[in-house]
Amino acid sequence: MPTLKRFNIKILGIATIVAIAFLVQACAPRLSPQQSCNFVMSNENQRVSWGPAAPVILYVDSSVPSEFYGAIQGAVATWNQSLGREVLKIGGWSSAYPRESQDGVNVIYFVKDWSDSIRDKQAITTIHWAGDRIFEADIRVNGNSRHFEYFWGPSIIAGRVDFESLLLHEFGHVLGLEHPQVEVQGTVMARRLDDATLRRTPAPFDVNDLKCEY
Ligand SMILES: [Zn+2]
């Protein structure tokens, strides 16, 4: 029987990744450990990724304000262009998966009643995997206006967080990236995203990490 293991990687900063793995105890041959490239690692020390299942198709829940659709598409296009291949794809709007759960569908939510107890987090990305293959990812954005407000477009708005920069970071988690142990200048996977800050372009370091798998 598979055993369920849930990892909650706690961080001091803003965005979090929550990962859930099904670890199948099998008589598989031992695999040699891989270099992490800042990916989440499986129990067998393999990078956890979508592998040949990419591009990942993500649906936008109807809770996400339509003014941010362009921000989501912008972040998708940035990763695809940076990697020179399509790794992410937007499937369209959906109201068919009303809450984040393991349902086989990748959904982006905007949570207006986000709990005050995790008010410092701008978003939480959950990935589910078996062995070293991700089979689902969901993103929840803190949509509680008492915690954060967002903007998108060419003009920075004081006191608000750039939705595109935030989604670019969360998509990094969707693809399997962790927060780097050492934050190289310019990395979009840095734990903290300040308001009124544009971070819409991955550092070469981020792209090289993803190229370990894609
Ligand atoms: Zn993060």
Model confidence pLDDT, tens digit, residues 145-156: 999 999 999 999
Domain count, the chain: 1
| pLDDT value for 56 | 98
Distance CA 60, CA 107 (A): 6
| pLDDT value for 190 | 95
Query: How far apart are the CA of 163 and the centre of ligand 1, in A?
Result: 14
Query: How far apart are the CA of 157 and the centre of ligand 1, in A?
Result: 22
Query: How far apart are the CA of 17 and the centre of ligand 1, in A?
Result: 6
| pLDDT value for 27 | 55
| pTM recorded for the entire structure | 0.88
| pLDDT value for 72 | 98
Query: How far apart are the CA of 94 and the centre of ligand 1, in A?
Result: 24
Q: Choose among 194, 27, 213, 182: nearest CA to 122.
A: 194
CATH number of the CATH domain containing 89: 3.40.390.10
| pLDDT value for 8 | 39
DSSP per residue over 54-75, as a string? PSEEEEEETTS-GGGHHHHHHH
Residue-range definition of the domain harbouring residue 17: 3-211
Report residues of the chain scoring pLDDT below 70.
1-29
CA distances from 131 to 42, 47, 51, 74 (A): 7, 10, 12, 31
Query: How far apart are the CA of 2 and the centre of ligand 1, in A?
Result: 28
Burial of residue 198, with CB atoms counted within 10 A of its CB: 0-12 exposed, 13-18 middle, 19 or more buried? exposed
How many CA atoms are closer than 13 Å to the CA of 156, on its beta-carbon side?
11
- Cβ–Cβ contacts within 10 Å for residue 22, how many? 14
pLDDT single digits (tens) 91-106? 999 999 988 999 999 9
